[in-house]
Structure 1
Amino acid sequence: MALTVSHLVGGYSQIPVLKDISFDVAPGELVGLIGLNGAGKSTTINHIIGLLTPMKGTITLNGVTLASDAQAYKQQLAYIPETPVLYEELTLKEHLEMTMLAYGLDQKQAWERAHQLLTIFRLDNKLDWFPANFSKGMKQKVMIVCAFITNAKLYIIDEPFLGLDPLAVHDLLQLISEVKQAGASVLMSTHVLDTAEKFCDRFVLLHAGEIQTQGTFDEIKTNYPDAGDSLNDIYLSLTGVTRNE
C-alpha cells in the first residue's frame, strides 16, 4: 500500500478529534475522504502531511514514516489545499522553480511538464504574474500545476472543486486519471458527492472523528441497502442527517 493510516488518534489539543481511524490508499487508486464539516477530514489530512503529530497510531507512505525519514516521506507527497497558499512576492514562474528545487526535479523534464499543464489550465501567458493578479480560481490552478509537475507517489487534494470552473474541473479529473494510470495514489476530500461517486474507486466516510464505513460504492450500498441509492443519500442516512435539517 502507498499510504497506510493505522489506528490514528489525533487532533489539535489533548482531546482527540480522530478516534482510532485506519484506512489505506493503494497505488493507482483514488479514495474519497467524505464527511460533514467537523467530521475530521482536515485533521486527517494535516496528520498525513505532517502539520500535526499523532497522539497514537502510525502513518506510513511506502513503508516510510515522517519520524524515520522526513525528507523521503515528504518528497513522495504532493498536496493541494482547499485554500491556495502562494507567496505574494513570487511570480508564477518562481513558484514553479521553487517546486522543482524542493522536489529535486530534472529542470528540462519538469519545464516540459509545466508547460503542458500551464497550457491545459490557460496559464501559459501568465508566468510573470504575481498572486495579487490572480483570481481565486486561478490561484487554485497554480496549486494544481505545482502539484502535478512533481513525481509524487501520493497526491492529497482537499476540496478541489471549490472555485474551479467546469472546464478546469474536467481537466483536473483527467490529470487524476493520468497519475492513477501511472501508479500514483490519490486521496481526495470533497463535499461534491455526486462527482466523487462517479470518479472515486473507494470511499472513507468520516463522522465525528470516526470511520462510519469504507469501501467501494457497491460494497457500501450492499452493506446499507436501506440507506439510499446515491452516495449523498447513504452518507446522510449513516450520519443521521435528514434533508429537512
Structure 2
Amino acid sequence: MTLKVENLVGGYSQVPVLKDISFEVKQGQLVGLIGLNGAGKSTTIKHIIGLLQPQKGKITIDGVSLKTSPQVYKQKMAYIPETPILYEELTLKEHLELTMMAYCLETKQAWEKANKLLKTFRLENKLDWFPANFSKGMKQKVMIVCAFITEASLYIIDEPFLGLDPLATKDLLDLIAQKKTEGAAVLMSTHVLSTAQEYCDSFVMIDQGQLTAKGNLADLRQQFSAPKASLSEIYLELARVGERNA
C-alpha cells in the first residue's frame, strides 16, 4: 500500500471544499484524478502534498502521515505541479543538485539517473541554463527530471501534458510505466481523457468536492449504467449531472 486518503474533509476556510473523500493508490498503479474545473482536484492534491491541513480525516503514504513523520512523509513523495516552479537564480544543474540534497540521494547514482533522463528529454546540453532561457515545455521537463531522479514511493502529477510536445508526452508516459513496474504508485490529474483511459489503471472522479465514482473503467461504466461508454462520455455525463444539481 502507498497512498491512502481516508474521510478527507478540508479546504481553504472553515467551509470545507472536500467532503468526506476516501481513495487509495496502490503500488504499481496509475490512478487518474478526474473532475471539472473547481471540482476539488487541486485542493485534494494540496492536502496530499501538505500545503493544506485536513479539517478531518487522514492521509498516509506507506502508513506514514505528515503529522507524525513530516520528513519521512515528504521523502516518500515527488510532485510535478501543473505550473512549473523553478528558482530563477539557479541553473538546471543546480536544481538537480538541490533535489539530490533534499532527498538525501547518493550523488553518483542520482547523476546516472539524471543523465539518462536529461538525454531522454533532450536537456543534456542545457545544464548551465537558467529558467529564463527555458520555454514552458522545457520548464515542465525540468520538473519531470527532478521528480523522477528520486526514489519516491508516490508520484503526484498535476495536469502533466500542458506544454509538452507529443514526443515528450510519450517519454513521460513511458517513464510512468517504468516506475509502476518498479513498484511506485502514481496519482495523475488530467483533462486529456483519451490518454487517461488508455494508460490509467483506475480513476477517482470528483464533483463539487465529493467523490462521485472510483474504480477501473468497467467499474465506472457499471456505476453510470453505461456498459460501452468511454471515459470522455462518462465525464460528460458527470458534468451534466453536476450542472443539474448546481
TM-score by length of 1: 0.97
- Counterpart residue number, 2:147: 147
Q: CA deviation at 1:228?
A: 6.0
8 Å Cα contact 1:33-1:41 kept in structure 2: yes
The residue matched to 1:31 in structure 2 has which SS? strand
How far apart, CA to CA, are the structure 2 residues paired with 1:226 and 1:53? 37
The residue matched to 2:64 in structure 1 has which SS? coil
- Counterpart residue number, 1:159: 159
TM-score by length of 2: 0.96
How far apart, CA to CA, are the structure 1 residues paired with 2:172 and 2:222? 30
Does 2:106 align with 1:106? yes
8 Å Cα contact 2:213-2:223 kept in structure 1: no
Distance change >3 Å, CA 155–CA 185, structure 1 → 2 = same
- Counterpart residue number, 1:238: 238
Q: CA deviation at 1:225?
A: 2.7
How far apart, CA to CA, are the structure 1 residues paired with 2:130 and 2:161? 23
How far apart, CA to CA, are the structure 1 residues paired with 2:30 and 2:131? 30
Q: CA deviation at 1:240?
A: 1.7
**Pairing of 1:223-234 with structure 2 (within 5 A):** 223-226=223-226, 229-234=229-234
How far apart, CA to CA, are the structure 2 residues paired with 1:108 and 1:236? 48
Q: CA deviation at 1:20?
A: 0.4
8 Å Cα contact 1:227-1:237 kept in structure 2: no
Does 2:82 align with 1:82? yes
How far apart, CA to CA, are the structure 1 residues paired with 2:208 and 2:185? 26
Q: CA deviation at 1:238?
A: 2.4
How far apart, CA to CA, are the structure 2 residues paired with 1:229 and 1:236? 11
Identity %: 67
How far apart, CA to CA, are the structure 1 residues paired with 2:165 and 2:16? 37
- Counterpart residue number, 1:19: 19
Q: CA deviation at 1:224?
A: 2.0
Instruction: Say how many residue pairs are matched.
Output: 242
The residue matched to 1:173 in structure 2 has which SS? helix
The residue matched to 1:206 in structure 2 has which SS? strand
Q: CA deviation at 1:25?
A: 0.3
8 Å Cα contact 2:136-2:163 kept in structure 1: yes
How far apart, CA to CA, are the structure 2 residues paired with 1:227 and 1:6? 29
| Ranges in structure 2 where 5+ consecutive residues have no aligned partner | none
- Counterpart residue number, 2:169: 169
- Counterpart residue number, 1:47: 47
Q: CA deviation at 1:227?
A: 7.9
8 Å Cα contact 1:227-1:233 kept in structure 2: no
CA RMSD across the alignment: 1.1
